[in-house]
Structures are given as structure tokens and as C-alpha cells.
Structure 1
Amino acid sequence: MSTQPEVPLNESPLLAETHARGSRHRVRPVASWREHHGWSAAASLRRLTSRPVGTLLTVAVMAIALALPLTFYLLLGNLQKMGEALGQNQTISAFLQVGQSGTAADLMAKKLRDHAEVASVTVKTPQQGMDELARMQGFSGALHTLDDNPLPYVLEVLPRPDASADRVDRLVAELRDMHGVDQVQDSGTWRQRLEALLGVGQRVVMVLAGLLAVAVLLVVGNTVRVDIASRSEEIGVLMLVGASRAFIRRPYLYAGIWYGVFAGLLAVGFAVVVELALAEPVERLGHAYAGKLHIDVLPLWLLAAVPVAAAVLGWLGARLVSAWQLRKAA
């Protein structure tokens, strides 16, 4: 962007400043301020559309930078749901001592159902366990040789979905200490590893979002810097006739806002495309796991907030660079 298109006379900031000075006594200050804001927004938009290739490249780079944290947020949310469906809250199996009666098993189950961290308790009888073994290949013949059923009662304890790994660990320790419990099988290590991985993923998304926000600021700032440098003579004339810095930089601030709005909308489009691309394979995976898996889409409030946040970043980048450039030119 070494050259800039000529600015029509009716869009020249110099003419606008002269017109504003001439009509200062006829127009109220608030109306004049509002009029110039409207002119700045429209003029900056026309200037961006007058160079579509450069504007599109800048907006595309910003959109990719904004879409990356959205994509990672989407993947992290679906990974968390996948962990919940495939084992984050897996059932804890408490094997009672051989010889415990069904009445004792029912009493223990009733006591556990009142526990704050327990969602449900299922009692599996020795006969049910024997039937499961009989359905497994290679065990049916061996079971016929047994004189009696050696399997104990089993309590299948399902922790609450919102129970953390530490609270589930305490629940497992309480089960092991209960009278009549022989052995407890738990996937606590799996839960702890999954929660640790999700915590790392959330921190990575936050750091990535911060770095890419800085990248958006730099892209907008560099674009505005080049634009100001190409119009240094015009800005010098405006300063000579008494134009304020706020008046001069206002169109550039609106240009940064337009860059941010367009980039935010395009980033939302990229995120929706990623959602659509993941929908079919996740649906096939869900069928493989008996419908337990479902894709988690990005919330509407987040999609609506992206263009707003991008506009703020664009304004901030333009504000910082334009203030610095105008101080140099003063």
C-alpha cells in the first residue's frame, strides 16, 4: 500500500474543517460534533471500499487471528463433553465381601444414596454377575463346573456429574473404609488426568487469545500507520490551519472500527464453518458410543461478542498508532 487513491474534494478533511469553522456560529457544538462523526464513519468506510484487495487481505488476517481462539474453545468444550460421556464420571464398583447378604447390600446402597457426592447406586447380585460372565466368550463352559456362585454383591456407585476429582477420591476412600467392602475399583487416575488436561487447555486458550489480540492490534496499527504516512502533507496542512489532533485522527479511528467489525464477522463465519465440518464426524462417533456424544456449538452470546470485541481492538490499535504518528508530525 505504497500509494493511496486521490481523495475527492467533497471528502477532503481540509474542506470539512473549513466548512466546520465557517458554520461554527450557526450550528450548535453537539450537532457539529455528531455531523463530523457521521462524516468520518462514512468517509473511512468509502476509503476502505476504494481499495478492496488491501482491505480484504487485512480483514482476512485479522479474522484468522480471531477465529483461532474460537476454534480452540470449541474443540476444548467438545473434548470436555467427550470426557464426561466416555468416563469422566465413570461408575465406582464396590465389591462386597463374599458371604454378605442381599439385605446388607441393600442397606449399604440406601446409606450411599444419601451421600452428597453420589448420584445413584445400583446393586448387582451374584447371579447377575454370573450371567454377565456367561455371556462372555470362553467362560460359559467353565461356569458349569462350579458347585456354587463365588461372586459377591457389587455396588455400582455413580458420582454426581459436578463432583470434582478430589471429592470423588474422598468418596472412594470412604467406600474402602466401609464395613463389609472387600475391594473398590475406580478410574480416579483417568479423571485426574482428564481434568488436568482440560485445565491446561483452558490456560492455552486464554494465552492464545491474548497473543492473537495483540496481533490484531499490530495489524490495524500498521495499516493505519501506512495510511497516515501516505497523507502526511494533507495532515500538515490541517495542522497549519488549526485542526485539532482529535479532528484529524477521527477518520482513522473509524477505519480501525470498520476493520474490527468486518474481521469479527468473518471470524464468526470461520467458526461456524468449523462447527459444520465437525458435525458429521462427531455424529458418526456418537452413534458408535450409543448416542452419548453430541457436538457442542459455540454459544450465541460469544458469537455476538466477537465483532464487538474486534471493533474495540481495531479502535484501540488505530488510537495508539494515530496518536503516536500525530505527535511525530507535530
Structure 2
Amino acid sequence: MNSPSETRSADAPAADAANAPRSGRSHVSRFGNWREHHGWSAAASLRRLAGRPLGTLLTIAVMGLALALPLAFYLLLANVQSLGDALGRNQTVSVFLKPGQSGAQAMLLATEWRSRADVSAVTVKTPQEGIDELAAMQGFSGALHALDDRNPLPYVLDVLPRAGLDAAAVDRLAAELREQRAVDLVQDAGHWRQRLDALLGVGHRAVLVLALLLALAALLVVGNTVRVDIASRSEEIGVLMLIGASRAFVRRPYLYAGIWYGLFGGALAAGLAVLIELALAEPVARLVQAYDGKLVLAGLPPWLLLAVPLATAVLGWLGARLVSAWQLRQAA
């Protein structure tokens, strides 16, 4: 006859085997219920927004207009930078050699400077080419006749800095070229580059600050809308919490409402930005034509247009999360 301990020991594996499937089924059931409630919350919150179209459209319109402003300024700054490049931000550095330098010496210097990492190209301009350019300018023909056959112009090397160099790097390049023994004068538009870089730096910082402020405004708009919605259903929420519903269960539909607000507001902002690009297409085409196609103006990158609705959806969720947590804590 087995002892009670032996009986319990023998029965334990059978009990564990019987309880294991039940525990697994319980876990699967809980996950299924959680997933089902998420789906119901997303659909119910969307139906609730559609049930009050005027208020929903006004909230989405406010968010979309606010978030379209930093996108428009970002587009403007990107094209101002391109315009600055066309106007001379990457202007060549003109190096005038000392009188008496031969063409062979000029070609040797050009070959040496082309091998530098901060130089994109070097063009040699002969004294005769300089005279021809002066002859093409109005008002210089009389002065050129007085020169007879003498050509006092030196060789000039036009050094094009590598694309992407900032103003400080171009200034260092000009200073190093100025130290060459064969160089007489270096003309560089460094002050123009510095001013443009400083202006663009201020613009980028202003756009960042504006984007943060308007993102905070969008968060507050969503939060206030969710607060009003929770306040209007305070009795229903109280009944749910009395019968044992958790705070997470109660606030889940409001979190999805915040996500919908943010998603639709961000999509509207991206659409408005595209409309701004289309509205500017014709004058931009005329501006590019005026620069003989040398000016390249770009629109907003597709990744940014896709990222805006996702980012604003996160903002909407965050605003709804903060407000709903505070409201439910007060209700409890």
C-alpha cells in the first residue's frame, strides 16, 4: 500500500499534464481577447470620429495647417541654399599669377592643384583670353587700343572648390593658394559664403524651433479633444470601472482616437506641402530658365512626406495618453 506522499508524487505528473493545456489555452485566450479589444477600439474610435464630422474635420484641419508651416519653410530653405549655390556660394577662387610667369608654369601649378582633395577643377585662363573678355565688355575697347601689342595681363587660374565645402574650408584653401610663390593675387568671395552659411544656419534653427512649437501645439490640440471626449462619457467610464475594467482597457479607444487624429492631420500636412510645390512649379520653372538650367531646385523628399503622418500619429497617441491617464486618475 502506497503512502500518501507516494500517492501525491505519483499523481503530480498527471495533474501537471492536465493543467498545462488549460494554462496554454488560457494564455492564448488572453492574447486573443487583448488583440480583439485592440481591433474593436481602433474601429470604434474611428466610428466615433466619423459620428461627429464637423468637430473631427476642424481638429484635423488645425493640425494639418500647423504642421504644414514647417514643411513649407523647410522647402523654402532648401531652395534658398540651391539659389545661393547658383549665385556664387561655390564660386571659383580666381588666382592671378605674378607677371612673367609662363604658360608652362601655369599648367604645372594647375596640375598640382587638381590633385588636392579640396579642389574640384582648375581652369587656366591665358592673357589673350583675358584680353578677349575685356574686349567683349562695353567701355574697354578704347583702353585696349592704347595697349598696342603689349598684353600686361597675367595668367589666371580659376580654382573650383570641391562641392560641399563650408566657408571655413574654402577660406583655408584660398589662404594656402595665396602663400604660393608664383601667386600675386587671390580673389575669393569668402564673405559672401560666410554670410550665406550664417543666414542658412539661422533659418534651419528657426525651422527646427517652429516645428517643435507646432508639434507641441498639435499635441495639446489632440489632448484637449480627448479630454472633452472623456468628460462627456464620465458616467459610462465610471460604470466600466465599477464592474472591474482596468484603466488600460478604458483608455484604449481614446488612445486610438489620438492616433487617428495625428495620422489624418499629418497626411493633410503632407498633402498641403505637395500643393505648395505644385503652386510654385511655374515660377520655379521660369527662374530655372533664367539661369540657363544651372539652378537646380528640389522639392520635399518622399521619405519626409511619408514620415510626417507617422510622426504625428505618435504625437496624437502621446497627447491622448497623457490626458487620458490624468483624467482616469481623477475619476478613480
Quote how far apart the aligned CAs of 1:61 are.
Answer: 0.6
Partner of 2:92: 91
Matches within 5 A, 1:67-216: 67-147=68-148, 148-216=150-218
Q: Which runs of 4+ in 1 moved over 2 A?
A: 24-27
Pick which of 121-130 and 63-72 moved more: 63-72
- Write the distance in 1 (CA, Å) between the matches of 2:26 and 2:86: 71
- Which is further off, 86-95 or 317-326? 86-95
Structure 2 gaps, min length 5 = 1-24
Distance 2:26 2:209 in 1: 52
Q: Residues 141 and 34 of structure 1: is their aligned pair in 2 closer, same or farther, counting only changes over 3 Å?
A: same
Could you tell me which residue of structure 2 aligns to residue 264 of structure 1?
266
Q: CA RMSD in A?
A: 1.5
> 1:68-113 deviations in whole A, cap 9, x for unaligned?
1111111111111111222111011111112211111111111111
1:27–1:146 distance in 2 versus 1, CA, 3 Å: closer
Gaps in structure 1 of 5+ consecutive residues: 1-23
Q: Identify the residue that residue 307 of structure 1 maps to in structure 2.
A: 309
Shift of 1:52: 0.6
- Preserved contact between residue 257 and residue 311 of structure 1 (Cα < 8 Å): yes
Encode CA deviations 1:157-184: one digit per residue, 9 max, x unaligned: 1110122211111111111111121111
Question: How many aligned positions are there?
Answer: 307
- SS of 2:172's equivalent in the other structure is helix
Q: In structure 2, what residue type is equivalent to 1:42? A: A
Partners of 1:117 and 1:159 within 8 A in 2: yes
C-alpha contact (below 8 Å) 1:94/1:185 kept by paired residues: yes
CA gap 1:25/1:106 in 2 versus in 1, 3 angstroms: closer
Q: Indicate how the Cα distance of structure 1 residues 256 and 128 shifts in structure 2: closer, same or farther if over 3 A, else same.
A: same
What letter corresponds to residue 231 of structure 1 in structure 2? Answer: R
In 1, distance between residues paired with 2:70 and 2:293? 28
Give the match for residue 323 of structure 1.
325
Which stretch shows the higher mean deviation, 40-49 or 145-154?
145-154
What SS is found at the alignment partner of 1:100? Answer: coil
Normalized against structure 2, the TM-score is what? 0.90
Instruction: Return the alpha-carbon distance in structure 1 between the equivalents of residues 200 and 104 of structure 2.
Output: 42
Q: What amino acid does structure 2 have at the position aligned with 1:131? A: D
Counterparts of 1:251 and 1:84, CA distance in 2: 51
Determine what percentage of the aligned residue pairs are the same residue. 72
Displacement of 1:25 in angstroms is 8.0
**Maintained 8 Å contact 1:283/1:294:** no
> Which residue does 1:49 correspond to in 2?
50
**Greater Rg over alpha carbons, structure:** 2
AA aligned to 1:82 is L
| Superposed CA offset, 1:214-255 (max 9, x none) | 111100000000011111111111111111111111110010
Distance 2:137 2:89 in 1: 26
1:169-219 alpha-carbon deviations (Å, 9 max, x no partner): 111111111112111110001111111111111211211111111111100
CA apart distance, 1:295? 2.2
Instruction: Determine the C-alpha separation between the residues in 2 that align with 1:138 and 1:191.
Output: 30
